[in-house]
Amino acid sequence: MILAPLPLTPDHDIPAPLLTELTALYASDREFQALSGDFPDPDDIRPEQVAGALADEMVNPDVEVLLARAEGRLVGVAITLARHPDPEDPDPWIGLLLVDAAARARGYGRRIAEGVEERFRAAGRDAVRLAVLENNPKGLAFWTALGYEVTGHRPDRQLGRPCAVLRKELGGAKG
């Protein structure tokens, strides 16, 4: 599996074929989209909506969108935040990790998470945080199985949805 930053055109747009792939990826997880409410209709996610959501994320220079490819196809996406807007929070964050529903149970989610953790570790970061929607027990089970621990509960900054906040110590470089 290859984990690489989202490539953009010289005009800072997402190339059309890639936007088509990303839209299919987002739409593949109807259950999560219904839980999150990120799109008006989880049964009708459109390319312009995905492009808009990613553009909103990438306005922040500390955000990185990472694409996971395996066997030539897009299998996942991760959105990371190098610095949280709260100056009291020293840790980077994983804002989203989404795996194509057709590619589940193949270890891609775990490998994407490990790749993100390694990127942060290589950047000298000691820990990483994320938030899981309170109405997403599958997400919570996934992250806790990877060693993340619940450190608190609070609404998310964007939409005020109730979330569990998790944190994982990164330790030294893997080797």
Total tally of structural domains belonging to the chain: 1
CATH assignment of the domain containing 108: 3.40.630.30
Strand, coil or helix: what is 48? helix
Give every CB contact of residue 161 below 8 A, 6+ residues apart in sequence: 36, 37, 133, 134, 155
> Does 4 score more than 70 pLDDT?
yes
Residue 175: pLDDT band with limits 50, 70, 90:
very low
pLDDT, tens digit (0-9, with 9 covering 90-100), for 18-73: 999 999 999 999 999 998 988 999 999 999 999 999 999 999 999 999 999 999 99
Range(s) of the domain holding residue 76: 2-169
Q: What is the pLDDT of residues 129-168, one digit of tens each?
A: 999 999 999 999 999 999 999 999 999 887 889 999 999 9
pLDDT in tens, 81-139: 998 888 888 999 999 999 999 998 899 999 999 999 999 999 999 999 999 999 999 99
Q: Is 175 within the bounds of a domain?
A: no
174 belongs to a structural domain: no
